[in-house]
Amino acid sequence: MVYQSNSTSIFDRLAFRGTAMCLAGGWSAPSVSATHVSIPLPGGNKDFTSLVPFYSNQSAIRADHAQWPELCAIFRRLGLPVVGSIADFEKLPAAAIPIRIGRRFAQERLDPNEITTADIFEFLCRAAVTSGTAAAQAKVPTLPLEIDRPQRLRSLVSLLRDLSGSDIPIGAAVGLSVCREDIVALIDSGVDFLTLESTNDHGIGESDYSYWFVSQLSRIRTMCVALDQPRFPLVVECPFSSADWVIKTLALGASIVCIDGIVNAIQAELRRHQPAVHGKGLLAGIADAYAAPTKSFIESVHDALNNLINQLHLQMSLAGCQSLPHFDVSCLASYDEQVCRLTRATLLDIGDFTS
């Protein structure tokens, strides 16, 4: 499911403070590396660095898609990590292979090759769902398949660390509604990051879902602060197609955000413009009237991702942020007291713009 912005969403009740700061003389251009994301590795090993705070988990387009090689080439050029197995990338030319995030589902056989060849690796605290409707998938238990056994959890992280050579980030994926006890258990186990899975398979309205999403993300970031891990890396999966919403998700506490909602929206738009009628004469003329846009899918994705990165640079510049760790909720403001209480954004009044 893809969500477009509207006036009822919490994201549209939040605004970047950068514009007012810029008018007041607060402009400060960030460096080229401003959007880099670092995940510290234990033992003094060199940190893992992603060039952009975005990733793809392949929910938008699969490895058997005809344009998969071209899409991966874009991801590689941008430095954008992609979730996938060895098989997903083995037929690609070397110049098109992006940073690979390997995955292992709970109760799934551990394949050492998938770990040793990954650039990042995570284990999911839920079983894999290979078929069925969204309603059926929603019934799959997400917790606690590993987390309920702390010693087993620590042993799993240690095993993954040994197999990987201790030079790649090891993370765990949990639902966005994860409880405090599980967050504590996971951080104590030694993982380098958490992936927060978030999909709306229960038919919740867009407005309610956006409020729930933001409240859960803010809650987990607050937990990290309370655990003396204020910048603990949080990788966030979300279905949003708005670049503005994705960037605000970063400011609200995410370290890296999934962009598949943006890619899905492009696919849906191109399908909507595909000719529904084929034929000759009059039918051909009707088909021409519904001709697809001149931009291809790959061109559209390339432009959308470049726009996303440029928009992030702009908002960071306006806020005077020299690096992503400083691009946080202090950069957001709202006239809505409820939104400010929920997110800790700055409460605005009309005097902020008239004084």
Question: What domains appear along the chain, each with residue ranges and CATH number?
Answer: 10-347 (3.20.20.70)
Element spanning 196, H or E: strand 193-197
| pTM attached to this predicted model | 0.86
Q: Give the residue, 309 or 105, on which the prediction is more confident.
A: 309
Ordered DSSP codes for 105-167: ETTPPP-HHHHHT-SEEEEESS----SS-HHHHHTS--S-SSTT-HHHHHHHHHHHHHHHTT-
pLDDT at residue number 194:
97
β-pair partners for 104 = 123
Which pLDDT band, with edges at 50, 70 and 90, does 135 fall under? very low
Does 354 score more than 70 pLDDT?
Answer: no
Q: Cα(101)–Cα(85) distance, rounded to whole angstroms?
A: 8
Burial (CB < 10 A; 0-12, 13-18, 19+), residue 276, is exposed
In this structure, of 49-58, 63-72, 123-132, 244-253, the range with the lowest mean pLDDT score is 123-132
Which pLDDT band, with edges at 50, 70 and 90, does 203 fall under? low
Q: Give the residue, 110 or 82, on which the prediction is more confident.
A: 82
Q: Cα(97)–Cα(86) distance, rounded to whole angstroms?
A: 11
User: What percent of the chain has pLDDT above 70?
Assistant: 78
pLDDT tens by residue, 245-303: 999 999 999 999 999 999 999 988 888 876 554 455 555 554 444 444 457 999 999 99
pLDDT at residue number 272:
82
Contacts for 179-188 with beta carbons within 8 Å, 24 or more apart? 179/143, 180/223, 182/125, 182/143, 182/144, 182/147, 183/220, 183/223, 183/224, 183/227, 184/227, 185/147, 185/150, 185/153, 186/147, 186/153, 187/224, 187/227, 187/229, 187/232, 188/150, 188/154
Helix spans in the chain (H): 18-23, 68-78, 86-89, 112-116, 134-138, 150-164, 180-189, 206-226, 243-251, 260-272, 282-289, 297-319, 337-343, 351-354
